[in-house]
Structure 1
Amino acid sequence: MIKCRLSSLLGDRKLKIADVARDTGINRGTLTRLYHETAERIELDVLDKLCEYFGCEVQDLLRHEAGTSAR
């Protein structure tokens, strides 16, 4: 299962979804779905903007966790 760590990154930096939306131009709804891990897909440009914004790599934002996989 793929887990998004956006909520952790925001918490570590004491940021809000609105801050990231304003600073990156990423739709707030997209960020909210990533934050709550309800997103079913993510555009590569969104990943790129988030990695650039947080100064991180994709593996810092998304993690693969072994276990149950939705099929």
Structure 2
Amino acid sequence: MLKCHLSRIMGEKRLKISDVCAATGINRGTLSRLYHETANRVDLETIDMLCEFLECNVGEIYEHVHSASKTAEVNV
């Protein structure tokens, strides 16, 4: 499972969704889904724009987290 840290990063930088949308041109709906961690897929271009705007790496926005339920299923 991927954990998106966009809301934390934006909070630390005191940015609103509307600020990031205006500066990057990313669709507000897309950014809202990333912010609330409900996005199912993201274009690489979107991630690239976020990294450039926020001055961070992909690994700072996304983190791979092992899911306990999926690990349990594999071990069954």
Q: Same fold (TM over 0.5)?
A: yes
Q: Which has the larger radius of gyration?
A: 2
User: Which segments of 5 or more consecutive residues in structure 1 lack a partner in the other structure?
Assistant: none
TM (normalized to structure 1)?
0.93
Cα RMSD after superposing both structures: 0.9
Q: Deviations over 1:20-41 (max 9, x none)?
A: 0000000000000000000000
User: Which segments of 5 or more consecutive residues in structure 2 lack a partner in the other structure?
Assistant: 71-76
Cα distance in structure 2, aligned partners of 1:3 and 1:31: 15
Q: Which has the higher helix share?
A: 2
Residue in structure 1 matched with residue 52 of structure 2 by the alignment: 52
Runs of 4+ in 1 over 2 A off after TM superposition: none
**Identity, % of aligned pairs?**
51
Residue in structure 2 matched with residue 26 of structure 1 by the alignment: 26
Q: Which structure exhibits the higher relative contact order, with contacts defined as CA atoms closer than 8 Å and separated by 6 or more residues?
A: 1
SS in 1 for 2:37: coil
Q: How many residues align?
A: 69
Judge which range, 37-46 or 59-68, deviates more. Answer: 59-68
TM (normalized to structure 2)?
0.87
